């Protein structure tokens, strides 16, 4: 099983057997998400990859696939992180400690550090995490928590990091968008 992360405009080009699991509004943190609003789809395998690659490349889309570790559940928010690794050894304390913090907030890994396959476009992260949360507020609470803060410092120091929180479908709650915007402004002014 794999998850495809593509720009939302690619939805009409997905092959049979590729099921969209998240395509709602997103809030971007850290470095800008390079290809606009994403969608996340579950793929049985990469058998359709050559056809998908040709279709998405011809249409100018960006997409990559990552090995999944769990089937999607009922969570209403998805967090997608895409990383270019700068210091894998320095990243190890983060990788060891983050599962406990994610679990503390009810998060569940759908993909975590599996093989990433470029499908189309220039952005192909070396490491991808896909986490499901009950709702967007819980995902944001995890990201902005005191428990995650020291781990976030490690992640940002050892990777070129991009992260989005997406609603499974539809809009993010208005108050969550404002909290995310405020947090992003504060993070930008402190760097």
The model's confidence at residue 31, banded by pLDDT at 50, 70 and 90, is confident
The model's confidence at residue 33, banded by pLDDT at 50, 70 and 90, is confident
pLDDT tens for each residue of 79-136: 999 999 999 999 999 999 999 999 999 999 999 999 999 999 999 999 999 999 999 9
Q: Among residues of the chain, what percentage have pLDDT more than 70?
A: 97
**In a 10 Å sphere around its CB, with 0-12 CB exposed, 13-18 middle and 19+ buried, how is residue 46 labelled?**
middle
Residue 179 · residue 139 · CB < 8 Å: no
Distance CA 88, CA 100 (A): 20
* Mean pLDDT, rounded, for 2-16: 91
CA atoms within 13 Å, Cβ hemisphere of 17: 10
Mean pLDDT taken over the chain: 92
CA atoms within 13 Å, Cβ hemisphere of 7: 16
Domains belonging to the chain, first-starting first, are 2-190 (3.30.70.100)
DSSP symbol at 126:
S
């Amino acid at each position: 099983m794999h998850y495809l992360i593509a720009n939302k405009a690619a939805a009409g080009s997905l092959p049979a057997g590729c099921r969209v699991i998240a395509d709602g509004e997103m809030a971007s943190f850290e470095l800008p998400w390079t290809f606009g609003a994403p969608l996340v789809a579950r793929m049985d395998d990469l058998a359709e990859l050559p056809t998908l690659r040709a279709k998405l490349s011809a249409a100018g889309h960006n997409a990559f696939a990552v090995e999944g570790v769990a089937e999607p559940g009922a969570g209403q928010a998805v967090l997608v992180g895409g990383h270019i690794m700068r210091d894998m050894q320095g990243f190890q304390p983060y990788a060891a400690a983050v599962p406990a913090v994610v679990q503390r907030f009810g998060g569940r890994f759908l993909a975590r550090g599996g093989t990433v396959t470029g499908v189309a476009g220039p952005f192909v992260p070396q490491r991808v995490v896909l986490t499901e949360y009950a709702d967007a507020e819980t995902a944001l609470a995890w990201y902005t928590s005191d428990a995650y803060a020291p781990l976030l410092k490690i992640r940002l120091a050892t990777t070129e990091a991009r992260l989005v929180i997406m609603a499974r479908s539809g809009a993010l709650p208005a108050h969550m968008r404002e909290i995310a915007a405020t947090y992003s402004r504060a993070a930008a002014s402190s760097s």
